[in-house]
Structure 1
Amino acid sequence: MSPEEIRTVFMGTPEFALATLDGLIAAGCQMVGVYTQPDRPKGRGKKLAASPVKERALAHDIPVFQPLKLRDPQAVAELEALKPDLIVVVAYGQILPKAVLEIPRYHCINVHASLLPKYRGAAPINKAIVDGESETGVTTMLMDVGLDTGDMLVKRSLAIGPDETAGQLHDRLALLGREAMEETLRQLCAGTLAPEKQDDALSCYAGMMKKEDGLIDWSRSAQDIHNQVRGLDPWPGAYTFLEGEVLKIAGTSLDQTLTGEPGTILQADKSGVRVACGQGALVISELQLPGKKRLAAVNFLSGRPLFGGSKLG
């Protein structure tokens, strides 16, 4: 069997899914449809905007389907009519019901951004960094009715940089996801797929991040706060309070030579704003006030001086 013989439906929505879609197209899969979330209001004008996956599919003249709910009987019938051999899912944004999972001739395969069974759920990239992991990766798996509980197929791993943000890791994992799916496709065509059961005892859940997850507790260690900041960059962002105003921070690093009362500004100059933590100090190189742009510390301080001894939080 070759990719050209496989009637393939792709389901995905954000930029993370693009690399895998590109890989399927490049492999020569017979792309009979792309499913993505309905157009959403975007920007200040709240005009309806297509998802990145929709735009890519239209650029390749692939039929696009955007059901509000994939559970709808009409949506299921529409998918059945495509007669897919394979459904590939990457960050689609909807749970596939049993009726959909049973449609393809071969499998529904998901590309998930963690080394399963660890970090099942919607935000595995953020959670791995927040937890201080030094390694993560992607896993392709056979989908079942559970949440990221299906049998594993192909894994690819990479190291997480000590200062790497979720945004930076996202881009690297997207490319790694393409590689993992390409290998999965090769094994499918060769008939050598070897599904492996997940050990539920080793799993943990990575739920969607919320804005309140970004609130900094300065009594925690500088390392923990550094992990929080980079794990929530670019969204939802880490923040504290400066004289009653929300102050977003980013671009952090560590200074283990300084100590002080947690939340106290120890130094503030062009090299950054150093804030005492429960253990060590955090060096902040980028700051942002409400309604303003994110600024490098040197530019921020020129308009809003900060002084040693003042408190954040």
Structure 2
Amino acid sequence: MFAGTPAPAVPSLEALLASEHEVLAVLTRPDAPAGRGRTLSRSPIAERADTAGIPVLQPRSPREPEFQAQLAELGVDCVPVVAYGALIPVPALEIPRHGWVNLHFSLLPAWRGAAPVQHAIMAGDDVTGASTFLIEQGLDTGPVYGTLTEAIGPRDTAGDLLARLAVSGAQLLVATLDGIAAGALEPQPQPAEGVSLAPRIEVADARIDWALPAHVVDRRVRGVTPAPGAWTTWRGDRLRVGPVEPVADAALAPGELAIGKQVLVGTASGAVRLGEVQPAGKRMLPAADWARGARPAAGERLE
């Protein structure tokens, strides 16, 4: 049974469907309201399973006895997991004979938690990767089957990096299941050193602090792009901000705007060049186009 929910989990399901392993069912989060109309929408994994004709299980929680009974009845050997989105209780973990094997987008024990790719970029890491590990009760603490590495480019956003890891990680997941099935792979305990945490990033966490150095602002904006999306405020309204670029030789106060052929914003050290912005209720547009309409006064600041 494959467990996953968002789009980055789809390459792994595709890889499993193309492999020698048999996917008997898919576990994903319940349909949820989406879009302006708040109509119920199926997860990307549920949609792919529907296309493949695979049964879809969508319990409110994997703690439900009914779900655990379904899992036991399926008689699956293993449950590979990619971004399912809920904690698995011990009784459910113990049902498949090879347990639940998670594909996590970091080099464990670094960046345990819900947002490893985002935190790796925001921290300025040069390299990250993916790990497959046996899920146990702790948060991403289980023994590791395999890893791969991926360089973080200087202009990578979280979306860019996650897209690459989703594809390469899918192959790692299939290779891990191949090794488990052959009896040739044993997971190794994670080292005690090098542990870091990557908690979920909320909208409030994505607000830009212009009092930070330019290179830190750059990393933080790229780390929350495309979701939840970096933002600031302008004349009391929210302004979404796309990726920025540090500019070393600009002397501006934190948040201060300078308008010319490009739009610069001051930080604690140097400035950053705005790329695209999105005023409240409008579409994304080049920062220069926004500035022509907004007409900032001399010395006016983003808040």
Q: Determine the structure 1 residue equivalent to 2:102.
A: 110
> In the alignment, which of 154, 173, 191 is matched to residue 165 of structure 2?
173
Q: Determine the structure 2 residue equivalent to 1:123.
A: 115
> In the alignment, which of 175, 179, 182 is matched to residue 183 of structure 1?
175
In the superposition, the TM-score normalised over structure 1's length comes to: 0.93
Helix, strand or coil for the counterpart of 1:30? coil
> Any conservation in 2 of the 1:221–1:277 contact (CA below 8 Å)?
yes
Q: Determine the structure 1 residue equivalent to 2:144.
A: 152
In the superposition, the TM-score normalised over structure 2's length comes to: 0.96
Q: Determine the structure 2 residue equivalent to 1:201.
A: 193
> Any conservation in 2 of the 1:268–1:308 contact (CA below 8 Å)?
no
- In the TM superposition, residue 108 of structure 1 has moved relative to its aligned partner by 1.3
Distance 2:87 2:122 in 1: 25
> In the alignment, which of 249, 265, 282 is matched to residue 275 of structure 1?
265
Distance 2:92 2:16 in 1: 20
Deviates more, 1:66-75 or 1:194-203: 194-203
The CA RMSD over aligned residues, in Å, is 1.3
Helix, strand or coil for the counterpart of 1:275? strand
Helix, strand or coil for the counterpart of 1:48? strand
Deviates more, 1:9-18 or 1:231-240: 231-240
- In the TM superposition, residue 308 of structure 1 has moved relative to its aligned partner by 4.7
> Any conservation in 2 of the 1:218–1:262 contact (CA below 8 Å)?
yes
> Any conservation in 1 of the 2:275–2:287 contact (CA below 8 Å)?
yes
> Any conservation in 2 of the 1:269–1:301 contact (CA below 8 Å)?
no
> Any conservation in 2 of the 1:269–1:297 contact (CA below 8 Å)?
no
Q: Determine the structure 1 residue equivalent to 2:75.
A: 83
> Any conservation in 1 of the 2:180–2:186 contact (CA below 8 Å)?
no
Which 5+ residue runs of structure 1 have no aligned equivalent? 1-8
Counterpart check, 1:58 vs 2:50: yes
Give identity over the alignment, percent.
Answer: 39
Q: Determine the structure 2 residue equivalent to 1:298.
A: 288
Distance 2:96 2:58 in 1: 19
Counterpart check, 1:33 vs 2:33: no
**Number of aligned pairs?**
303
- CA shift digits 1:96-137 (9 cap, x unpaired): 111111111223100001111010111111111111111111
Counterpart of 1:182 in structure 2: which amino acid?
V
- Cα–Cα, structure 1 residues 273 and 308, in superposed 2: closer, same or farther, change >3 Å? farther
Distance 1:29 1:187 in 2: 12
Counterpart of 1:89 in structure 2: which amino acid?
V
Deviates more, 1:208-217 or 1:138-147: 208-217
> In the alignment, which of 65, 73, 77 is matched to residue 65 of structure 2?
73
Ranges of 4+ aligned residues in structure 1 off by more than 4 Å: none
Which 5+ residue runs of structure 2 have no aligned equivalent? none
- In the TM superposition, residue 307 of structure 1 has moved relative to its aligned partner by 4.9
Deviates more, 1:274-283 or 1:79-88: 274-283
Counterpart of 1:181 in structure 2: which amino acid?
L
Deviates more, 1:118-127 or 1:303-312: 303-312
> Any conservation in 2 of the 1:85–1:104 contact (CA below 8 Å)?
yes
Deviates more, 1:242-251 or 1:40-49: 242-251
Q: Determine the structure 1 residue equivalent to 2:154.
A: 162
> In the alignment, which of 237, 256, 269 is matched to residue 245 of structure 1?
237
Distance 2:266 2:61 in 1: 49
Helix, strand or coil for the counterpart of 1:200? coil
Helix, strand or coil for the counterpart of 2:275? strand
> Any conservation in 2 of the 1:241–1:312 contact (CA below 8 Å)?
yes
Helix, strand or coil for the counterpart of 1:158? strand
Deviates more, 1:32-41 or 1:210-219: 210-219
Q: Determine the structure 2 residue equivalent to 1:6.
A: none
Distance 1:41 1:91 in 2: 19
Counterpart of 2:196 in structure 1: which amino acid?
C
